[in-house]
Amino acid sequence: MPSSWGKIFKVSTFGESHGEAVGVVVEGVPAGIPIRLEEIQKDLSRRRPGQSKLTTPRDESDTVQVLSGVFEGKTIGSPIALVVHNQNTISKDYENLRETFRPSHADYTYQAKYGFRAHVGGGRSSVRETIARVAAGAIARMILEDDFGIKTVAWVDTIGKIASDLPESKFPRTREEVDVNEVRCPDIAAAEKMRALILEMKEAGDSVGGIIRCASYNLPPGLGDPVYDKLDGDLAKAILSIPACKGFEVGSGFSGTLLTGSSHNDEFYMEEGTGRVRTKTNHSGGLQGGISNGETLTVRAAFKPTSTIFKKQNTVSIDGKDTVLEAKGRHDPCVLPRAVPIVEAAVNLILVDAYLYQRAMNPLWFQKWAKVPDYYRDLKL
Amino acid sequence: MPSSWGKIFKVSTFGESHGEAVGVVVEGVPAGIPIRLEEIQKDLSRRRPGQSKLTTPRDESDTVQVLSGVFEGKTIGSPIALVVHNQNTISKDYENLRETFRPSHADYTYQAKYGFRAHVGGGRSSVRETIARVAAGAIARMILEDDFGIKTVAWVDTIGKIASDLPESKFPRTREEVDVNEVRCPDIAAAEKMRALILEMKEAGDSVGGIIRCASYNLPPGLGDPVYDKLDGDLAKAILSIPACKGFEVGSGFSGTLLTGSSHNDEFYMEEGTGRVRTKTNHSGGLQGGISNGETLTVRAAFKPTSTIFKKQNTVSIDGKDTVLEAKGRHDPCVLPRAVPIVEAAVNLILVDAYLYQRAMNPLWFQKWAKVPDYYRDLKL
Amino acid sequence: MPSSWGKIFKVSTFGESHGEAVGVVVEGVPAGIPIRLEEIQKDLSRRRPGQSKLTTPRDESDTVQVLSGVFEGKTIGSPIALVVHNQNTISKDYENLRETFRPSHADYTYQAKYGFRAHVGGGRSSVRETIARVAAGAIARMILEDDFGIKTVAWVDTIGKIASDLPESKFPRTREEVDVNEVRCPDIAAAEKMRALILEMKEAGDSVGGIIRCASYNLPPGLGDPVYDKLDGDLAKAILSIPACKGFEVGSGFSGTLLTGSSHNDEFYMEEGTGRVRTKTNHSGGLQGGISNGETLTVRAAFKPTSTIFKKQNTVSIDGKDTVLEAKGRHDPCVLPRAVPIVEAAVNLILVDAYLYQRAMNPLWFQKWAKVPDYYRDLKL
Amino acid sequence: MPSSWGKIFKVSTFGESHGEAVGVVVEGVPAGIPIRLEEIQKDLSRRRPGQSKLTTPRDESDTVQVLSGVFEGKTIGSPIALVVHNQNTISKDYENLRETFRPSHADYTYQAKYGFRAHVGGGRSSVRETIARVAAGAIARMILEDDFGIKTVAWVDTIGKIASDLPESKFPRTREEVDVNEVRCPDIAAAEKMRALILEMKEAGDSVGGIIRCASYNLPPGLGDPVYDKLDGDLAKAILSIPACKGFEVGSGFSGTLLTGSSHNDEFYMEEGTGRVRTKTNHSGGLQGGISNGETLTVRAAFKPTSTIFKKQNTVSIDGKDTVLEAKGRHDPCVLPRAVPIVEAAVNLILVDAYLYQRAMNPLWFQKWAKVPDYYRDLKL
């Protein structure tokens, strides 16, 4: 099972829902960077379950431990291993799943692929794997913030048929603006309706999906590689690898197909004062030809309703018999609020990798666009 | 500029629009496979420009040449290099683009990234690069067809606001059903309106976008790798790397976010006669947990309206001055009809790579699901 | 710092000498394989320090822990994380190395590369990193033994100028034959002299190097990929990545350059009874064109004398001043006995990766050469 | 058949001896670099056959053609495809090899691996593949020379038992010093004896091997990555992938195992005037912990005697029968003179990749050590 990512900033994750631990090894982290462990922990805590009535009651502190790569508080260039031990596992809740496949879950496909599976807690297909990415994403985020001031902020855009209504000029620019409510939707009126819908679904033993939007601010132009490693392609892969994600779009995305070229094109102009090339509109979502153009990077990700529900469903058993399943265990009626930091992590991981690759390709670009953080000056070459 | 793809069936492409040639090297192709060159050529011909009034008048025969990897008509296991020489290049049409950036094209971002660019014909960002993938995709297709009878068929689902209306049961199952009209939309009534719209846009010097749908039939369960190399993630990356693509979805995608879990879940049942596990509905689009479940794989890709239009547009020059651009050159008013074989190629490339990886992981799976083609028997180990 | 390896059976290691732990994540392990943890531990114990007077007195139990990828005793196809926590670290012994570079060690080059380093215990350059490979190598070994009966055995061939004298027909075929003495040299007479030399060096605060030979038995023909991923090239890279290794040869190696083609060529013949193609001599060392030919694979690796010695040496400080160093800490006067299992692990890791790649390429080859272990039959596809 | 190389500066080669062409695609080449095509051609001409009586009479001009990646004489950041068409192929000379395996050649192992092979001219196992690396290596060389003045020079150190006698202080520093004779050995007296031996072998229908030494000057400290991507490991893999190479060593290599640590260690001192850290001796061969230390990088590679000889040899047929082979075709009695530029190319490819990776990791290192070539200033970001 390939579980690694990235050309230079490579993450390799491991861990199952009910195994000993989940974790990640990150190689390709430059040396000398102060690692603020409390920030990694903070990102993990935004993702962890049990934070509100909207999420699964599985209560995990998700305390991260650094096993390597950091010395006296700074990176030393060697692989950074981060581990979170699983604590609150209740395997008996899953005994009936040893023989039975949950509809629209990964139970059957794992069995068909491997011929053997860890049926408890969804095993490797569990959303617990995303701990690894969030931890690695926090390191990525620090580099991006320190060198460019790049900020990536995601939020819940829709839940079911309830949509928020925020033009790009009103997009939240900090995570604090997103965390104002449990739903993580900065449109307060919409958030209230979303919250009600999620609780209604929870009550009914049912589930609901929605769309997350993510924006990245302060990207310099020139990030991303055209052709196969386009930033949008890499972002799509990273985001679609999050459990329950079924769709991705950048900029105008699917709705852009309704426009003509003359109305869709983003005309360029020179920004007064800064001398920067800007666009009047941003249907491109900050990317042209797969490369950042300096505008805000905006993407959206569609998440299906959680497949594990508490209603009876028809299904089949491992022995090929029709049967009926009634799920137990602890599950989110809606994954979106917790998926917000996961989407952010995915975006940060892709951006930092594109950045380091670009640094290899074009040192003048680094000189033009990057701030040189203080800690660089501590390096003694 | 990373330009390679795949874990085992690796493609590495090269070539610019107005350079000497475009081509591809494919490594990881098993030995002993008969290469039907005429089929590669046929796939390329479906993609080439100048086929109808709907496309750019640039007329290229796109004749493919095999430089290596094939001996006496069969693969020998070594890298296969396929090359198409550019012929009908008119560089003077692009002289004004040396200094000026076309809105929503990759001109500015290439300049910002590399500091130097081939301004003629869009250089590497041209859709001509896709020749390479279509050629490689044809080899992938042959392997998939021979070992499993997997057929991948794409078609135009919408153009602008005109949508075809085909339920999954009426999806075309052959390319011939798609090629019945120039638009490549098997819904004949819709196709006629789409054709009119494209010609209207062409007349107006404007452009239009739309959505392509792609279906793959006869996939065995077990293809694709969970977590980071999910089949949907890999498909998204591959498809978003096609010029002008801005969105991707699998199965119910964005519209699936409007349903509840109980209506969205695909219940399992045992198929009589075959003993296969099946699902009653296919909101999953053939994938669960990133792995194929044996149902039809269905994805959709959103293509923005072509950015090169023949209307005056505001833009900036390489020297940072506001200016006005009036494009010349030869361009498609709508890329979708020609993108159909490109999407198919992308899907086939991802599927064959997942297949070979799975063959490494689980030889029993090969024994259970694959047909052993005749040419295997010619191998003399 | 890239720290990963392999095309399919990928290992990614982490950990510093005096950090929290060292470990490895292995992805690309097929599902259903029984993991005999005690065998991994046994391999680690052969590598660990403190086993005899010949090695460093640092005493570590090197107890391995499985964090993921194994369920009810068997692999599930997901990444296997193995961790060994460091226990017996004495950082104060290294305080003088914060400012001073040990000659022929990696202190200076790490500083010049990263500008910041963990000076304690050699950090990432310590031989403790090899724990990770030995643990991963044990899994590789199990697969190779189960599917083919491949056995890889390494031993000390020379120490300083003392050479053992074993023709290929007398090569040890089990690890037990090697572990008969502390030196790990199956030529008993030579071993005794080697032991005396090492102890003499230890007494003198000096060190000594030597050559390890490694043989792999029962390889089927067809392993390894010509051109860039030749088995000998991959083995060389893997073995030269072991600390202190400065040379590699396969088969006749450097001494083969003294022969003519007619005396060096290995003539083929058909083996009676088995119908297998064999060679009369084995100057090729079991590889031709980078691919195994079915004969015993034999390689040799040269290890320099340990660079950390207890004599005064001229060196420079981090501030660019000439100075004199007298090393402290705990170090092996000769790394070879402990390097024996590390070389074996390197070979097993390369072989298993070549095997899985070949399985992807040629399923008929699997049918012809591999035994199908019992645990395959437990898979329920 | 994996045929690609490198983390950033990636080369992917293709082509068989008697196919249409051999070539290479290089991705990860920075933009803006002037490509001096005549230098690529010059490197290829040093490698091509038919240059003297010492080599195969196959006469190929090996004219290189650039298919992509270069615009108006400079790189544009996109993949560079270089192709050399085969011209002087005489397939009938190989008809007897369709059914018979040459001893110590790759005929049998290819057959055992793939079950099908191109028997003409050795197919992919032919030394003609190395054209691709030499062409790519020339681009690597230009970057290394322009940014650092790094010069890599290889030469013939021994042929059979005839050894040259050059201490490091007398190593040739230019290729012109090597090309003073056909053998490419700068020790004139030894070269004359080597030449006589090669001709004697040619006359006898036999062959001979030897050792090539390679030195790289002006490396800054900090190139290469410890652990798995050590510079020596990568060099070993690259060099062992050259046909007929059976051994590799860096610095003191195998002979270093005869010394004690106190005599082998390279003591550091501060160089007056430059303020650079230097070593008094260079047993390390310029590498410590897999990273360059600023001293001359020296490696040696052992090449076995050419396996194709014109004497009768016992062998077996594809149908498993003992038989006798008398080779035809055109072959080098000694590959070493022609292998000199191939070794240089391998070294340059590894160095440039390590350099670009380091540039990604540490931009301050670039500022400290690299010259900024004029063409950087032409970039217009």
The pLDDT of residue B53 is 79
Residue C377 belongs to a domain = no
In sequence order, the 6+-apart residues with CB closer than 8 A to the CB of B140 are B9, B345, B348, B349, B351, B352, B353
Residues 6+ apart with CB under 8 A from C58: C49, C50, C88, C330
Would you call C277 an interface residue with chain B, using a CB distance cutoff of 8 Å?
A: no
Helix extents (H) in chain A: 37-47, 107-114, 130-148, 175-178, 188-203, 231-240, 261-264, 336-361, 363-369, 374-378
Boundaries of domain holding A216: 4-251+286-372
Whether ipTM exceeds 0.90 = yes
Is A270 inside a domain boundary? Answer: no
Cα(C64)–Cα(C118) distance, integer angstroms:
24
Report pLDDT for B335.
Answer: 95
Q: Which of D108, D124, D270 sits opposite C268 (nearest CB)?
A: D108
Taking the Cβ of residue C155 and every Cβ of chain B, the question of whether any pair is shorter than 8 Å is answered with no
Picking from A211, A226, A262, the nearest residue to B254 by CB comes out as: A211
| pLDDT computed for residue A143 by the predictor | 97
The length of chain C is 381
pLDDT number for residue D346: 98
Tell me, yes or no, whether B258 lies in a domain.
Answer: no
- Cα distance between residue B347 and residue B354, in whole Å: 11
Strand bridging mode A245-250 / A277-279:
unpaired
| Residue ranges in chain B modelled with pLDDT below 70 | 57-58, 330
Structure confidence at residue D54 (pLDDT) = 79
Q: Mean pLDDT for chain B?
A: 94
Q: Which of A74, A230, A277, A362 to mutate to test the interface with D (most CBs of D within 10 A)?
A: A362
Q: Read off φ and ψ for residue A102, nearest 5 degrees.
A: -75, 130
Q: What is the pLDDT of residue B88?
A: 76
Contacts with A8 from chain D: Cβ below 8 Å: 7-8, 357, 360
> What is the total count of domains within chain A?
1
pTM flag (> 0.95):
yes
* B102-153 confidence digits (pLDDT tens): 999 999 999 999 999 998 878 898 889 999 999 999 999 999 999 999 999 9
DSSP B77: S
State whether C233 and D233 contact (CB < 8 Å): no
Q: D263 lies in a domain? A: no
- DSSP E strands, B251-292: 268-270, 277-279, 287-288, 291-292
pLDDT average, residue stretch D301-313: 95
D364 contacts chain A (CB < 8 A): yes
Question: 């790049």: which residue's tokens?
Answer: A150
Q: Structure tokens of B322? A: 């506001």
Please check whether residue A357 touches D, CB under 8 A.
Answer: yes
Asked whether the beta carbons of A41 and A29 are under 8 A apart, the reply is no
The verdict on residue A58 lying in a domain is: yes
- Tell me the per-residue pLDDT of C266-283, one tens digit each, with 9 for 90 and over: 999 999 999 999 999 999
The reported pLDDT for the residue numbered D288 is: 97
Yes or no, beta carbons of B364 and C376 under 8 Å apart? yes
Per-residue pLDDT of D173-226, as tens digits, reads 999 999 999 999 999 999 999 999 999 999 999 999 999 999 999 999 999 999
- Give the pLDDT band of residue A97 (cuts 50, 70, 90): confident
Cα–Cα dist B316/B329, whole Å: 19
Interface touch A78/C123, C-beta < 8 Å: yes
| Strand, helix or coil for residue A345 | helix
Whole-Å CA distances, C110 to B337, C115, C245, D224, D295: 55, 7, 18, 10, 15
3-class DSSP state of A208: strand
Inform me whether the C-beta atom of residue A267 falls under 8 Å from chain B C-beta atoms: yes
Nearest to A160 by CA among A96, A126, A100, A207: A207
What is the signed CA dihedral for C54, C58, C63, C64, rounded to 10 degrees? Answer: -90
On whether any CB of chain A is under 8 Å from the CB of C114, the answer is: yes
Six token digits for residue A331: 């599950």
What Å distances lie between residue A183 and A154, A199, B257, C187, CA to CA? 12, 11, 16, 72
Cβ-based neighbours of B79, under 8 Å, separated by 6 or more: B25, B26, B27, B29, B68, B69, D1, D3, D12, D13, D14, D15
List of chain B residues whose C-beta atoms are within 8 Å of the C-beta of residue C31: 361-362
Chain B contact set for A221 (CB, 8 A) = 108-109, 112-113
Residues A346, A235: contact at Cβ < 8 Å? yes
How far lies A164's CA from each of A185, A192, B324, in Å? 7, 11, 37
- Nearest C-alpha in B relative to D99: B380
Q: Which residues of B touch C30 (CB under 8 A)?
A: 361-362
Q: Which residues, numbered 56 to 85 in chain A, qualify as contacts with chain D under a Cβ-Cβ cut-off of 8 Å? A: 77-78
Nearest by CB to C226, from D106, D228, D307: name it.
Answer: D106
* Tokens, residue C246: 């400065």
Q: What is the predicted pLDDT for the residue at A58?
A: 67
- Angle value at C-alpha C379, between C376 and C381, nearest 5 degrees: 125
**What residues in D contact B99, CB-CB < 8 Å?**
none
Judge whether C125 is closer than 8 Å to chain D, CB to CB. Answer: yes
Residue B381 lies in a domain: no
Q: Residues 26..55 of C with a Cβ closer than 8 Å to A: which?
A: 27-28, 31-32
Cβ <8 Å between A76 and C31: no
Q: Is the pLDDT of residue C336 over 80?
A: yes
pLDDT category, A326, cuts 50, 70, 90?
confident
Any domain includes B169:
yes
Judge: B4–D27 Cβ closer than 8 Å, yes or no. yes
The total number of residues written for chain A in this structure: 381
Average pLDDT over residues A327-340: 86
Distance from CA of C199 to the nearest CA of D (A): 13
Classify burial at A373, counting beta carbons within 10 Å of its beta carbon; exposed 0-12, middle 13-18, buried 19 or more: middle
Looking at the complex, report in whole angstroms how far the Cα of residue B53 sits from the nearest Cα belonging to chain D.
Answer: 30
Tokens of B258: 């409007």
Chain D residues close to A370, C-beta within 8 Å: 363
Average pLDDT, chain C: 94
Residue C94 lies in a domain: yes
Q: How far is C137 from chain D (nearest CA, A)?
A: 14
Q: Would the annotation count A305 as a binding residue? A: yes
* CA–CA separation, A11 and A49 (whole Å): 23
Optimal mutation site among D359, D369, D371, D374, interface A, most CBs of chain A within 10 A: D359
A256: which chain B residues are within 8 Å (Cβ-Cβ)? Answer: 209, 246-247, 302, 304-305
Q: b or e along A30-65 (b: 16 or more beta carbons within 10 Å of the residue's beta carbon)?
A: bbbbbbeeeebbebbebbbbeeeebbbebebebebe
pLDDT of residue C332: 83
Residue D104 carries which DSSP code?
A: T
What whole-number distance in Å separates Cα of residue D341 and Cα of residue D338?
7
Determine the Cα angle at D289 with ends D286 and D291, to 5°. Answer: 55
Are the C-beta atoms of C81 and C68 separated by less than 8 Å? Answer: yes
- Least confident span in A1-10, A57-66, A309-318, C204-213: A57-66
Q: Which residues contact A337 (CB under 8 A, 6 or more apart)?
A: A52, A54, A55, A156, A182, A183, A184
Cβ neighbours for C95, distance < 8 A, ≥ 6 positions apart? none
Q: Distance between alpha carbon A65 and the CA centroid of its chain, in Å? A: 21
Q: How many C-alpha atoms does D213 have within 13 Å on its Cβ side?
A: 26
Closest CA relative to residue B138, chosen from B5, B32, B47 = B47
Size of interface A-C (CB pairs under 8 A): 197
B361/C31 touch (CB, cutoff 8 Å), yes or no = yes
Cβ–Cβ under 8 Å, residues D302 and C249: yes
What is the residue-wise DSSP string for D336-362?
HHHHHHHHHHHHHHHHHHHHHHHHHH-
Q: What part of C 188-247 touches D (C-beta under 8 Å)? A: 201, 206-211, 221-223, 225-230, 232-234, 236-238, 240-241, 243, 245-247
Q: Which of B246, B319, B357 to mutate to test the interface with A (most CBs of A within 10 A)?
A: B246
Confidence band, pLDDT 50/70/90 cuts, at residue A121:
confident
User: Cβ distance A242 to A343 under 8 Å?
Assistant: yes
Instruction: Return the sign of the alpha-carbon dihedral for residues D258, D263, D268, D273.
Output: negative
- Residue ranges in B67-212 assigned as alpha helix (H): 107-114, 130-148, 175-178, 188-203
Mutate to test the interface with C, among A37, A71, A101 (most CBs of C within 10 A): A71
Structure confidence by residue, pLDDT tens digits, D226-279: 999 999 999 999 999 999 999 999 999 999 999 999 999 999 999 999 999 999
Q: Is A381 on the interface with B (CB under 8 A)?
A: no
Instruction: Count H helices and E strands in chain C, helices first.
Output: 10, 18
The answer to whether D379 faces chain B, any CB pair under 8 Å, is yes
Q: Which residues contact C303 (CB under 8 A, 6 or more apart)?
A: C209, C210, C211, C212, C242, C244, C245, C246, C335, C336, C339, D257
Distance CA C291, CA C350 (A): 12
CB contact under 8 A, D8 and A222: no
- pLDDT value, residue D150: 98
Chain C residues lying within 8 Å of A107, measured CB to CB: none
Residues 6+ apart with CB under 8 A from D377: none
Phi-psi domain of C218 (left: phi exceeds 0; alpha: psi -120 through 50; beta: other): left
The CATH number of the domain holding residue D80 is 3.60.150.10
Which one, of A123, A160, A114, lies nearest residue C71 by Cα?
A123
**Nearest alpha carbon to residue B4 among A367, D78, C26:** D78
- All residues at 6 or more sequence positions from D185 whose CB lies less than 8 Å from its CB, including other chains: D155, D156, D157, D159, D164, D178, D191, D194
Taking the Cβ of residue C362 and every Cβ of chain D, the question of whether any pair is shorter than 8 Å is answered with yes
Contacts of C78 in chain B (CB under 8 A): 226-227
